[in-house]
Structure 1
Amino acid sequence: MSSSPGSPKKNRMRSLLANSFRRPRSQSHSHSSSVPNEGARLGSAQSGTPSAINAAVSLSSAGPNIPSTSEPDSAKLGRARGKAALAGFRTSLEVLRDNAGVFPPLSSAAGILLSCIEGIETAGRNQQEYENLWIELTRSAEFLSQRMQGAGSLPVSNSFLNISKSIEQQAQEIETKLAKKTGGRVRKTIIEEEEILGQYRRVESLFRQLQTDASMSIWSIVNSQLVETRLQGLESVKEATYDSGLSNEVGRRTCTEGTRIRVLEDLRDWINDPMSAPIYWMNGMAGIGKTTIACTFCEQMEGRKLLAASFFCTRNFPDCRRVNRIIPTIAYQLARYSLPFKTALCHVLDQDPDIAKKTLSKQFDKLLKEPLAGMEGVLPQNLVVVIDALDECENGTEVERILDTLFRYATGVPLKFLVTSRPEPEIYPRIMQHNDQSRVVVHLHEIEKSLVQTDIKLFLEEELSLIALTPPQLEQLLERSGALFIYAATLVRYIQSGEKRANLHKRLKSVLELAPDASKRHAHLDALYKEVLKSAFDEEEAEEDEQEDVREVLRTVLVAREPISVETIASLTGIDDPQRVVSALQPLRSVIHQSEQTKLVSILHASFPDFMFSNDRSGSYFFDQLEYNQRLASRCFSAMETQLRFNICHLDSSFLEDNELEDLEARIKAHISSTLVYTCRHWGAHLDLAPRSEYLLKALADFFSNRFLFWMEVLNLRQEMNIGSETLVKAKDWLTASPAEPQS
């Protein structure tokens, strides 16, 4: 329940936000009244010792009331004020250095700034500004020191770490400039003096950002339960991050060391340039390496604490192909990155908890634009959001809408967006209609071929080091790969899947002897996929029933709506022994991935279903996915008929809330099989893609009559009731689509 408009809690939060985001930097010693009051409100002034800035502020404020009859007296007063301010700054830095030991960049920065103090003279043309800077820096340093004393309970965001590193970098640059001495004195040209002063200004600005971040962390601790409730309401897709557990399940990886250097350098130049366009579109055909590059870039930006959020779309997981989950997920991750943003976002969610369910335009406006307003001096610069494989989302119209939304709002928020995709019809014209000021466009397939071939060569030499490729063999493989990394990756997996060392050379030889139709666009990749399938269905070594197992397993994995377990594959294919599924997967390892951690099975790359579902490309290996979805829908109904039952988890009482049951997770794992989980989640999707038939009509009617409530119980236990409503919509669409086919 949201707070009432006049509630004390909401008013405190608004006041805290206003003080944190709008506090001006002091420009004169007479502005001592602008000392931030959030520290006192949050207990930051509960110190046992007087503030180190009291003397400096007293001298500063006393200045106008002291008669000034001569220039020397005024100069003496100025020097006294400067020395007092500098002494206060020195003391606060010493305390901060000692208290910030758990945050090495901040502790290091304090130490470096301490070593620089002796090299700065506060007298001269910039005396007043230096004095103001010392006072402001002292305030921030004292506040942070008190926060550091309780650092065990202080949440530290990536934003906090980023700002700390920036302070350390600025301190190092100041130290370097001050090290340039002539005759034991600093070379005080006007330019050098202004440069050093400018860097101290940046340090002061960064200290204020840290102070805001720390203030928000205190608010976050006090209101932690409310904050988490609000953030969970966004229904963020945890599997969509570049380094999620799903990334292992789908075989996502980073670039081989030493490859794609030019592309990654261009991305870094874009992110480092404050004047560059806010949107960077990297596009290319399937298999060219877009996701691998995006994953590598995310890892690099994560290391620099500049990755605000990532959303990697994939056909392999339902929520990762839904456009309407992208913006709420970005907002959620950004809240984890920045505590001030989290505070502002929770204020928005307090007013409208259901905003994540609304249109894309309203989502962006309320979840990103509004909480980011006024944060230009609070968030680190050059933050990036990465959206990968946008073409793998399931609704082309929604893809168009999110692109329109990005271009409408991107220039008004302190974020940059990297978007990767194929140049699909719903994407290409939507992006190309905008000018160069709003987007950068990179066509990976147009990058100089020699650069790409050099990268692929490094990859092949590293991955096939056991074979010791001859120069002619390597040259031929490079020619076949062209600009497609997926060709090289599939080739490597195919060759390495040979069980014996001799098979490695045999498989290499078979690939080199392929004679693809050079007139077709995907000729070499198609020829390689056909060679893989020919080997998998080897009629000489495999029995007929083994070939049928391979065929059924392959088709099931291709049509499955998410990575699935071996047991689920066995159930959906009608194979009575899961070990037969394991055996059938072996010859398919170059096109199908099985996670080492979860053992879930999925397609390795989106280019393989494209090949398999095209009769023109796959030839005799083609199969009709609509027909197979009909079979899987039927098997889903059969599995639910067998396994669904009343009180499936044998709960002792229906009067207890699920969260009151300590062993509920164990009961769910014990009584709800992976097959039942899959069928309950996806029977509607398979039904929606299947031709209508009398059999499926009867199965659907039987399901609603006898098992509908049991199905809802499973979804409720797994906290997936939202899937239920989507499934029912799909069933309705299927029922109203076309007349049923006659029963054969």
Structure 2
Amino acid sequence: MAGTGKSTIAYSTCGDFDINDSRDPAIVRAFLGASFFCSRQAPDLRNTGNIIPTISYQLARRCSSFAASLRSCDDDVVRQTANMQIRELLINPWKRLVDSRDARLPSALVVIDALDELDSDDGEAFLSCLVTAAMDATQYSLAGLKILITSRPHPKIAKLVSDLSRKTIFRLEDINKQDTDADIRTFLDKEFRTVKTLSLSDHELTQLVNRADGLFIYAVTLCRHIMPPTAIEMLTAVDVRKALEQLINVENGIAGGEDLAVDALYRQVVGNMLEKSSRARRENEARRILHSILIAARPISLDELTALVPSINAAFALKVIDLLYSVIYVSNGHIHTYHKSFPDFMLNKTRSNSTFCGANSPLHLALYQSCMSIMTKSLRFNICDLPSSYLFDSEVEALPNSVKTNIRGVVGLEYACRFWGHHLSQTRSGEESCPAHTLDIASLRADAKVLEDIYGTIRMFLKENVLYWIEVLNLLEARSECLNAVEKLTSWCQDNNAPQEILDAVALVARLTTSYLHSPASQSTPHLYISALGRELGVTGSTAQGWQTLFRRLPTIGFQGDGAALSVIKTNSAVTSVAFSQDGKRVVVTSVAFSQDGKGVVSNSKDNCIRSFNPPSHWKVDSSGWVLHPYALEGISVSHMHRLVWLPPSICDVLGGSPRCLLTISRRGRATLNFSSAKLGNDWAQCYTHS
């Protein structure tokens, strides 16, 4: 259950074992090696793929022997599954250092909080992988490594840990209730004493402790609601007692029911805000503000809120946030909820009643449409003015400032690019939604026109902006979010029977994003166009989106493989063998064979010679698949090996011949690569022609 103090325990444990300069590691049994606090409110903190890389990095900084062991790991592991990360970045490196580690050293403690906050059911999958990897290792091989994990009793997680030793599991609900009540009582007594002349009797404290029913979040929210931190100096004992009396009267209204006292507290907090907004005849707007904050994919700023929901007035939104001070706060310019139990309450129709905000609220549709509108207005080709296609993004010194100005500096653009897919995926029909009177948006299942409007925005996005969207997410290093958005778009289109031409266009985008973002080409954003799009247009001959008219100066890349006939020559007799003589002499060839790698040919002939043929190549291909060129091409420096284009192994394996236009015949197929009309290097942006 939320609010019992799991995260508080995790924080306290980290504090207790975080050894600083004043504490001697030799006299403590353990030290904090690493920590990760999962949170639904931040995409990076609810992404399973970030946990182990973060843990390993922190642990390496605090444990030199672990750092040394970690150096032998493949860098590409950070892009692998959680199971692979656990084994290759945590378990195996620790096993390698055990033999050389002094047994007298304190154990390294790793703390992972709130697994239930991860996306989907990833918490259960992550814990399963971790438990399996740990059990596969011997007890000795993990000596000196301790791991503390906290989570709500999600059914799948609870089932998984039920098979573990009882010594490894601690359930907060098993704590003696008297101990919990005593802690809550101590907290309440201390908080109420901050108000001058106020002293609650034992009976009054006991009443509040009983209402908390073991939930620390109730006690914390109660104090914050009754004694606003910003007004604590002006509060009197009379003010506090009056607020307490009002709260208790409300809660008594649900006495004998199954509701939690914290639900009554949340109802009063939200109800007070709506009542004050109603006096100004702005209750519906207040609901939209609160619901938008709750269903946003991450904490948003006030500017983002008004950009995403244009009907919201910024000044009024600030008033609503102020009225919800006990459950919502602003930090670093972004709006957060204090505790996950509040969104849980609001998203549960049974608990929140008339204040309910459905997980599949029609407001998601409005947010999706706003995201599309923002991207349409703000996305453009080469948005950060990258200077050369020969450079990796990491080699462009001005790029961080350019991203800050041209992407993050445009209100709502980063949010729109990252989360339009999330909001689209929530516009499903047949789900519970917010009360119609609060949102003035037609239900999808009742309004076919809305569905057609969505199809229209998808068509426009895929035709005009999808490439620039991929560009932005690559610059933001949000590649997994790009791939996830395409997956959500695909699923939504299939679930809603989208027209075939949309399904085909989505499949094309899925192929392009996968080939680009999973390749070394993604290290250089210009190669979204030069390498990935050039290959897509050349190899598949795709013309569906009209991209070939916008990008006319790309390299021409062609490939035909899978044993297809390259050419057919008719003869008047049977052909037993074919080969070209290296010295130009006409010789009877008796047999021909390819080399094992398919790049060379060897022949036997009647002049008692065995000849080998290796196609001459002026291209240099590095181990990552980048085609490099050492020769001068239209002003390119002869001394520099430029990254011309990235190609997959299936094409790289058959490269050879002229740097201008090559043709190689191999049993693996035929590849053509033509730069005659391509714009590269400092001129790369000229590959784009505005329509």
Name the counterpart of 2:266: 529
Q: Distance in 1 between matches of 2:51 and 2:390?
A: 37
Name the counterpart of 2:686: none
2:270 maps to a residue whose letter is L
Asked if 1:730 is matched to 2:467, the reply is: no
Pair 1:366–1:670, CA change in 2 (3 A): closer
Asked if 1:413 is matched to 2:413, the reply is: no
Asked if 1:712 is matched to 2:435, the reply is: no
Q: Which runs of 5+ in 1 are unaligned?
A: 1-284
Q: Distance in 1 between matches of 2:498 and 2:207?
A: 52
Matches within 5 A, 1:416-495: 416-436=146-166, 439-467=167-195, 468-471=198-201, 472-495=203-226
Asked if 1:509 is matched to 2:239, the reply is: no
Cα offset, 1:480, TM superposition = 0.9
Q: Is the 8 A contact 1:310 1:330 kept in 2?
A: yes
Cα offset, 1:386, TM superposition = 0.9
Q: Distance in 1 between matches of 2:298 and 2:349?
A: 24
Q: Is the 8 A contact 1:594 1:602 kept in 2?
A: yes
Pair 1:448–1:695, CA change in 2 (3 A): same
Asked if 1:694 is matched to 2:452, the reply is: yes
From 621, 635, 642, give the equivalent of 2:370: 635
Name the counterpart of 2:8: 292
Q: Distance in 1 between matches of 2:323 and 2:354?
A: 18
Asked if 1:675 is matched to 2:412, the reply is: yes
Pair 1:697–1:317, CA change in 2 (3 A): same
Cα offset, 1:291, TM superposition = 0.3
Asked if 1:384 is matched to 2:109, the reply is: yes
Name the counterpart of 1:359: 81
Q: Is the 8 A contact 1:637 1:703 kept in 2?
A: yes
Q: Distance in 2 between matches of 1:570 and 1:396?
A: 32
Q: Is the 8 A contact 2:38 2:115 kept in 1?
A: yes
Matches within 5 A, 1:179-578: 285-303=1-19, 306-349=31-74, 353-376=75-98, 377-378=100-101, 380-396=105-121, 399-409=124-134, 411=139, 412-414=141-143, 415-436=145-166, 439-467=167-195, 468-471=198-201, 472-497=203-228, 501=235, 504-514=240-250, 515-539=252-276, 542-545=279-282, 547-575=283-311, 577-578=313-314
Q: Distance in 2 between matches of 1:687 and 1:365?
A: 36
Cα offset, 1:362, TM superposition = 2.7
Larger RCO: Structure 1 or Structure 2 (Cα < 8 Å, ≥ 6 residues apart)? Answer: 1
Pair 1:739–1:548, CA change in 2 (3 A): same
Cα offset, 1:443, TM superposition = 1.7
1:4-46: CA deviation from partner (whole Å, max 9, x where unpaired): xxxxxxxxxxxxxxxxxxxxxxxxxxxxxxxxxxxxxxxxxxx
Cα offset, 1:290, TM superposition = 0.5
Name the counterpart of 1:684: 421
From 400, 403, 408, give the equivalent of 1:665: 400
Which has the larger share of helix? Answer: 1
Q: Is the 8 A contact 2:347 2:359 kept in 1?
A: yes
Q: Percent sequence identity over matched residues?
A: 33
Q: Describe the SS at the equivalent of 1:383.
A: strand
Q: Describe the SS at the equivalent of 1:501.
A: coil
Q: Distance in 1 between matches of 2:321 and 2:59?
A: 40
Which has the larger share of strand? Answer: 2
2:316 maps to a residue whose letter is R
2:468 maps to a residue whose letter is F
Name the counterpart of 2:355: 621
2:111 maps to a residue whose letter is V
Q: Is the 8 A contact 2:34 2:111 kept in 1?
A: yes
Cα offset, 1:476, TM superposition = 1.7
Cα offset, 1:630, TM superposition = 2.2
Cα offset, 1:652, TM superposition = 6.3
Cα offset, 1:581, TM superposition = 2.3
Cα offset, 1:674, TM superposition = 4.4
Cα offset, 1:590, TM superposition = 1.0
1:313-371: CA deviation from partner (whole Å, max 9, x where unpaired): 1111112112233222222221122122112111122xxx3223333333222222221
Aligned length: 449
Q: Distance in 2 between matches of 1:540 and 1:551?
A: 9
Q: Distance in 1 between matches of 2:323 and 2:122?
A: 38
Q: Describe the SS at the equivalent of 1:538.
A: helix
Name the counterpart of 2:567: none
Q: Distance in 2 between matches of 1:691 and 1:736?
A: 12
Pair 1:713–1:313, CA change in 2 (3 A): same
Q: Distance in 1 between matches of 2:32 and 2:194?
A: 37
Q: Distance in 2 between matches of 1:397 and 1:578?
A: 36
Name the counterpart of 1:115: none
Q: Is the 8 A contact 2:212 2:218 kept in 1?
A: yes
Name the counterpart of 2:611: none
2:48 maps to a residue whose letter is V
Cα offset, 1:522, TM superposition = 4.3
Q: Is the 8 A contact 1:649 1:667 kept in 2?
A: yes
Q: Describe the SS at the equivalent of 2:333.
A: coil
1:388 maps to a residue whose letter is D
Cα offset, 1:739, TM superposition = 3.7
1:286 maps to a residue whose letter is A
Pair 1:530–1:720, CA change in 2 (3 A): same
Worse-superposed segment, 707-716 or 651-660? 651-660
Q: Distance in 2 between matches of 1:434 and 1:288?
A: 23
Q: Is the 8 A contact 1:360 1:402 kept in 2?
A: no
Q: Is the 8 A contact 2:114 2:152 kept in 1?
A: yes
Pair 1:527–1:466, CA change in 2 (3 A): same
Q: Describe the SS at the equivalent of 2:316.
A: helix
Worse-superposed segment, 314-323 or 297-306? 297-306
1:474-513: CA deviation from partner (whole Å, max 9, x where unpaired): 2221111121000011111211238563654442222122
Pair 1:322–1:660, CA change in 2 (3 A): closer
Aligned alpha-carbon RMSD (Å): 2.5
Q: Describe the SS at the equivalent of 1:310.
A: strand
Q: Describe the SS at the equivalent of 2:153.
A: coil
Q: Distance in 2 between matches of 1:409 and 1:540?
A: 54
Name the counterpart of 1:102: none
Q: Describe the SS at the equivalent of 1:434.
A: coil
Pair 1:681–1:409, CA change in 2 (3 A): same
Q: Is the 8 A contact 2:365 2:423 kept in 1?
A: yes
Q: Is the 8 A contact 2:225 2:326 kept in 1?
A: yes
Q: Describe the SS at the equivalent of 1:483.
A: coil
Pair 1:507–1:385, CA change in 2 (3 A): same
Pair 1:407–1:382, CA change in 2 (3 A): farther
1:619 maps to a residue whose letter is N
Q: Which runs of 5+ in 2 are unaligned?
A: 26-30, 430-450, 500-691
1:362 maps to a residue whose letter is M
Q: Distance in 2 between matches of 1:644 and 1:454?
A: 57
Q: Is the 8 A contact 2:56 2:90 kept in 1?
A: yes
Cα offset, 1:645, TM superposition = 2.6
1:149-173: CA deviation from partner (whole Å, max 9, x where unpaired): xxxxxxxxxxxxxxxxxxxxxxxxx
Cα offset, 1:533, TM superposition = 0.7
Name the counterpart of 1:602: 336
Q: Is the 8 A contact 1:694 1:740 kept in 2?
A: no
Pair 1:563–1:702, CA change in 2 (3 A): same
